[in-house]
């Protein structure tokens, strides 16, 4: 059987990094780890191809080759996935859809032949047997969360790694916390499950053998969800990285209580971690309590960020506005916190009620849900009726982005970060890094308007922050991406504005 595995294109958001990738000569942040893992669960006698539409176009020739098309994606990929499914259906091709999106989008059974809900490790044998027998069912649903010892190595034979900026490895699934707006705990549970250190070493060896060098993203829902297990992994990770000449640097996502454990931070630093994403959300304690993000109320947000940064680990962070308890000055408070914490890359979004979450269920009960939402929290189209005036909320959100990604304000924040940043000697610069710097000098230093701010920053980086010059260039390039994304959000769309300010009454849900 010929299985065509297809991954949809990322929309233009913070996380796509589409405006930064060309500096590095790359096409996409990461290869589709989920589909590469699924490929390893398929029979060895099947023929397989992977099309990641972020780096390669899905052609009619690819579809003619296939007996079955398997897709995976997230809620934010809904439009692209439905378009691909429509192309397959027009050709009479059998389709299977899985991934987080199947827990969120109700119309998928109408568009795909077979829908897989939940984690695939224990579902695949039955699905494969049914596909081969021509008797596959419309729905396959996992009834338990699998032990990750059953997860195979990803099938890297299907992918060329060169178009990617980083490579993903999954160590754990699940998060112990109970944030109301989060769909992770609904899909993957609140009991973190982990791979063994031996499994992670095997994945590192696989990447090393494929001559990958550079960034590795631990794509966990919360890397430190099980601190005991993480502390068993990190010495193994540090030893492997050191013995191989430090070919990899690592970054991941974690909860703020990382700051409580200096031993853990020291171990992460020794292993080669250079960046961590934190869900800070808001400096407003009442809003954190409303969202059930109590772990962020038990410690100083600002001191926690500073403590993590003191280990040479850069903090990226997510912020949200739109909570019921947000005061009128929440926008100023968000900007002030981002400035004081010297977090260069601050992902600020409007609250969305994602399908399947506690927030989504509560808003249905309160009659405040308007649409299902898209998963893109940078959209200025609200999917629920907020307590704050909707127009005030959207204007305030835009004001945050305008202030934190105005070029001089951004460079000033990066300077504040660099002044206190003392990176460990883990980063080995590659040819692509020097090419990225050269492209930055041309694109940002010669072709862009308001070039003076850029050149002043480069001068400061070379004279005052030489200890972190590489980090400075990376953040200059990333700032370009965030600036372009901000420009897009600041451009009003009349249709979006009409929906955003509440012209749809509660209960008038949009068909999606």
How confident is the model over 460-488, as pLDDT tens digits?
A: 999 999 999 999 999 999 999 999 999 99
**Minimum mean pLDDT among 110-114, 206-210, 413-417, 507-511: which range?**
507-511
- DSSP strand E in 62-205: where? 68-72, 94-98, 114-117, 139-141, 167-169, 172-173, 193-194
Instruction: Tell me if domain 2-141 and domain 166-349 are identical in fold.
Output: no
Main-chain dihedrals φ then ψ at residue 145, nearest 5 degrees: -95, 120
Domain ranges of the chain: 2-141, 166-349
- Say whether pLDDT at 54 is over 90: yes
Q: Which helix (H) or strand (E) holds 109?
A: helix 108-111
Take residue 284 and report the two structure tokens written for it.
């407003």
Q: Beta strands 314-321 and 273-281: pairing type?
A: parallel
Q: In 10 A of CB 184, how many CB atoms?
A: 20
What confidence tens digit (pLDDT) does each residue in 486-506 have?
Answer: 999 998 665 555 555 444 443
Per-residue confidence band for 430, with pLDDT thresholds at 50, 70 and 90: confident
- Say whether pLDDT at 426 is over 90: no
- 417-428 average pLDDT score: 84
Per-residue confidence band for 373, with pLDDT thresholds at 50, 70 and 90: confident
Mean pLDDT of the chain: 94
- 25-50 average pLDDT score: 98
More confident residue, 373 or 6: 6
Separation CA 268–CA 251 (nearest Å): 10
- Say whether pLDDT at 402 is over 80: yes
By CB atoms closer than 10 A (0-12, 13-18, 19+), residue 35 is buried
**Minimum mean pLDDT among 57-66, 421-430, 494-503: which range?**
494-503
Choose which CATH entry (3.40.50.280, 3.40.1440.10, 3.40.50.10860, 3.40.430.10) describes domain 2-141.
3.40.50.280
The whole-model pTM stands at: 0.94
Q: In 10 A of CB 498, how many CB atoms?
A: 12
Q: What per-residue confidence (pLDDT) applies to 424?
A: 76
Per-residue confidence band for 25, with pLDDT thresholds at 50, 70 and 90: very high
Q: Which helix (H) or strand (E) holds 402?
A: helix 390-404
More confident residue, 512 or 347: 347
Q: What per-residue confidence (pLDDT) applies to 428?
A: 72
- Say whether pLDDT at 32 is over 60: yes
- 44-69 average pLDDT score: 98
Handedness of CA 252, 184, 145, 122 (dihedral sign): negative
Per-residue confidence band for 404, with pLDDT thresholds at 50, 70 and 90: very high
Taking domain 166-349, whether its CATH number is 3.20.20.70 is answered by yes
Percent of the chain with pLDDT over 70: 95
Q: Which helix (H) or strand (E) holds 133?
A: helix 124-133
């Amino acid at each position: 059987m010929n299985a065509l595995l297809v991954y949809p294109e990322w929309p233009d958001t913070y996380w796509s990094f589409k405006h930064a990738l060309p500096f590095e000569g790359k096409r996409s942040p990461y290869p589709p780890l989920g589909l590469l893992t699924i490929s390893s669960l398929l029979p060895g006698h099947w023929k397989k191809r992977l099309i990641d539409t972020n780096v390669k176009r899905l052609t009619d020739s690819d579809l003619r080759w296939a007996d079955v098309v398997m897709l995976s994606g997230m809620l934010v990929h809904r439009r692209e996935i439905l378009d691909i499914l429509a192309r397959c259906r027009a050709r009479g091709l059998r389709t299977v859809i899985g991934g987080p999106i199947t827990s969120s989008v109700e119309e998928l059974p109408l568009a795909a032949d077979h829908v897989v809900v939940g984690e695939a490790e224990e579902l695949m044998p039955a699905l494969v047997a049914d596909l081969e027998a021509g008797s596959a069912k419309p729905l396959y649903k996992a009834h338990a969360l699998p032990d990750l010892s059953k997860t195979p190595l990803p099938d890297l034979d299907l992918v060329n790694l060169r178009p990617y900026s980083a490579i993903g490895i999954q160590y754990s699934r699940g998060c112990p916390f109970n944030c109301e707006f989060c769909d992770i705990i609904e899909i993957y549970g609140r009991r973190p499950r982990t791979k063994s250190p031996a499994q992670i070493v095997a994945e590192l060896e696989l990447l090393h053998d494929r001559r990958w060098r550079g960034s590795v993203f631990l794509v966990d829902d919360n890397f430190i969800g099980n601190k005991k297990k993480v502390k068993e992994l990190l010495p193994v990770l540090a030893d492997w990285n050191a013995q191989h000449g430090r070919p990899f640097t690592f970054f991941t996502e974690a909860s703020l209580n990382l700051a409580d454990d200096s031993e853990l931070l020291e171990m992460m630093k020794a292993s080669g971690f250079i960046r961590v994403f934190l869900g800070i959300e808001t400096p407003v304690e009442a809003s954190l309590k409303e969202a059930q993000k109590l772990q962020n109320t038990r410690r100083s947000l600002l001191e926690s960020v500073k403590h993590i940064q003191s280990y040479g680990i850069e903090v990226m962070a997510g912020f949200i506005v739109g909570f019921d308890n947000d005061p009128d000055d929440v926008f100023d408070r968000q900007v002030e916190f981002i400035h004081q914490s010297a977090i260069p890359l601050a992902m600020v979004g409007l609250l969305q009620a994602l399908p399947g979450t506690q927030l989504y269920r509560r808003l249905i009960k309160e009659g405040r849900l308007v649409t299902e939402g898209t998963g893109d929290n940078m959209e200025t189209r609200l999917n629920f009726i907020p307590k704050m005036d909707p127009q005030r909320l959207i204007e305030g959100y835009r004001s945050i982005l305008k202030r934190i990604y105005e070029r001089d304000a951004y460079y000033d924040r990066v300077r504040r970060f660099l002044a206190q940043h003392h990176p460990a000697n883990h980063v080995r610069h590659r040819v692509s890094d020097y090419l990225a710097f050269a492209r930055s000098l041309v694109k940002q230093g010669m072709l862009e308007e308001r070039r003076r701010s850029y050149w002043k920053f480069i001068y400061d980086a070379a004279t005052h922050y030489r200890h972190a010059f590489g980090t400075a260039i990376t953040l200059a390039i990333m700032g370009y991406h965030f600036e372009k994304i901000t420009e897009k959000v600041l451009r009003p769309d009349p249709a979006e504005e009409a929906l955003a300010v509440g012209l749809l009454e509660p209960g008038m849900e949009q068909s999606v």
